[in-house]
Amino acid sequence: MTIKPNKKASLTDLIEIWNVGFNLNLLLSGKLKNIIEKYIDKKKGEFINCPIIKDGIEYTDYWLFNGYNFNQEYIDFQNSLIKYEKQADDFETSYNTKMIFLSVNSLEEFEKYVDVAKEKAEIITIEKLTLKENSIPDEFFMLRYVFSGIYFISEKLKKEIEDAGCTGIEFQPSYLSLNEWLHNEREKVYGKA
């Protein structure tokens, strides 16, 4: 597999995954791969060589990270904001949905809601995430159903990536919702987009 990014795209250490047609995967330079690889258990995913052709030049040291192991047990469900877009009672004729916020006490309870949502083709998302404090052993992990993203890293790994001068990456604090990040805090850290 070879990727041909948009002509205007820059070759950064992390390449926007939506622009290359992948879902849930990261496209990384060899430099970034080597940093992250030190912190990933082989059970969490694999790196697949994925060269890039830009302006007729092939760059062979790019890698697709295919993640397949999620750590939902790291979520503090009682303190997270969980949104459920549920079909209205008259959905068959109106196609209307209603948004409700759930009070969830455990992963098991959350999974029951997820199963119901899948069965009814409804949507459940964690709008504002709270992680369990002092109980996450991983430096890199993935979560599902989190509206602001699926990849999470420790401060230690973040510092190593920043110290290496990796490009194309922004770090959103996990305690901020995507709305809070994009409309208030992002610009303070990274400037105007």
pTM: 0.86
Task: Report residue 22's pLDDT band, with 50, 70 and 90 as the boundaries.
Answer: very low
Task: Give kind and range of the element (H or E) at residue 119.
Answer: helix 107-119
First-to-last alpha carbon distance for the chain, in angstroms, is 31
Domain segments of the chain as ranges: 14-71+135-190, 76-128
Q: What's the pLDDT at 61?
A: 97
**What is the C-alpha to C-alpha distance for residues 79 and 105, in angstroms, rounded to an integer?**
9
Beta-ladder partners of 82:
102, 126
* pLDDT tens string 76-132: 999 999 999 998 888 888 988 999 999 999 999 999 999 999 999 999 999 999 999
Task: Report residue 23's pLDDT band, with 50, 70 and 90 as the boundaries.
Answer: low
* pLDDT tens string 87-102: 888 888 898 899 999 9
Q: What's the pLDDT at 88?
A: 87
In degrees rounded to 5, what are phi and psi of residue 183? -100, -5
Residue of 1, 42, 62, 45 whose CA lies nearest to 151: 45
